[in-house]
């Protein structure tokens, strides 16, 4: 399976829409979003994804109840709070925004995750901590770096491809 990974969309609808097009074209079976959607209307754009979405909140997601309601109304985004865990095949995947460094460090050092996905820094990073593959897809919005990106994880090989939007 291919998993699309997004972070830090920050209400930038043109790039959110482009990300949706790219992920649909890539044929991903699941999308992980590490938060900082910011406003509920961003959830409406994510409804056009052909794959289900698992997401967590970021530090800029102020109106969490409105975000949660919009996600529920759309039906394809499962917002799980500050962190989430899911399994895809044999892979155990953790998802967190990354602004809570104690939480991020704890999840990283536990060593029971095959993959840990985070965002917040707006800079892409792919690396390993022990057995855990660490993925930060960078920023979908492009506001901080000027380079909007997302990532696609191939679950069979654990290869990660960064895609510039």
Q: Are 93 and 72 in contact (CB under 8 A)?
A: no
Closest by CA to 61, choosing from 34, 31, 84, is 34
Domains, the chain, ranges and CATH?
A: 2-164 (3.60.21.10)
User: What is the model's pLDDT at position 68?
Assistant: 93
Distance CA 88, CA 58 (A): 23
Model confidence at 69, in pLDDT bands (50, 70, 90)? very high
What is residue 53's predicted lDDT score, i.e. its pLDDT? Answer: 98
For 22-58, the pLDDT digits (tens) are 999 999 999 999 999 999 999 999 999 999 999 999 9
| pLDDT tens for each residue of 86-131 | 999 999 999 999 999 999 999 999 999 999 999 999 999 999 999 9
Give the C-alpha separation, 117 to 160, whole Å: 12
* Mean pLDDT across 55-67: 96
Q: What is the DSSP letter of 120?
A: S
The confidence band for 75, taking pLDDT boundaries of 50, 70 and 90, is confident
**Position of tokens 């997601």?**
61
């Amino acid at each position: 399976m291919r998993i699309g990974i997004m972070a830090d969309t920050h209400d930038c609808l043109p790039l959110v829409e482009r990300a949706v097009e790219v992920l649909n074209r890539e044929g991903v079976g699941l999308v992980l979003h590490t938060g900082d959607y910011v406003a509920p209307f961003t959830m409406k754009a994510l409804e056009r994804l052909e794959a289900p979405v698992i997401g967590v909140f970021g530090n800029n997601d102020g109106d969490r109840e409105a975000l949660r309601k919009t996600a529920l109304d759309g039906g394809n985004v499962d917002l799980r709070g500050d962190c989430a865990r899911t399994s895809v095949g044999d892979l155990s995947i953790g998802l967190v925004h990354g602004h809570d460094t104690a939480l991020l460090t704890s999840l990283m050092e536990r060593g029971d995750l095959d993959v840990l996905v985070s965002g917040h820094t707006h800079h892409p990073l792919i690396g390993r901590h022990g057995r855990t593959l660490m993925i930060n897809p960078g920023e979908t919005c492009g506001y901080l770096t000027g380079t909007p990106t997302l990532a696609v994880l191939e679950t069979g090989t654990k290869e990660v491809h960064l895609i510039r939007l």
